[in-house]
Amino acid sequence: MNSLQIARACAQAADMKKAEDIVILDLRGISSITDFFVIASGHAEPHLKAVRNEIEKNLKEKGVFAHGIDGLPMSQWIVMDYLDALVHLFAKDRREFYSLERLWGDAPRINWQD
């Protein structure tokens, strides 16, 4: 899978668990850190955990494994590192506080729905 396919698979898996406000930002040519950010919100700690587990399970089934996962649902921010795609799962208030979409406002948004 290429980096865009990984990002879309992450977004679709998050959607399966009813993650909210799912966005893919295209950072190619803007950042050397990664190609894509996948950003999504959950409404409670159990919801964030369920979204994280669904993404991890779905990507493993496709033979793609996270390089690392940091953060716990209680921290209200979980980062899943798929190298060329970084997934950020936030509680709504944390997402508003860190405002990655504003920080990376010059990054185009990618349609992840088929």
Residue 61, pLDDT score: 97
- Amino acid of residue 80: M
Residue 17, pLDDT score: 97
pTM of the model: 0.94
Residue 75, pLDDT score: 85
Domains of the chain: 3-104 (3.30.460.10)
Beta strand 36-42 with 85-91 is parallel
Beta bridge partners of 20: 41
pLDDT tens per residue across all 114 residues of the chain: 999 999 999 999 999 999 999 999 999 999 999 999 999 999 999 999 999 999 999 999 999 999 999 987 788 999 999 999 999 999 999 999 999 999 999 999 999 987
Backbone torsions φ then ψ of 72, nearest 5 degrees = -120, 160
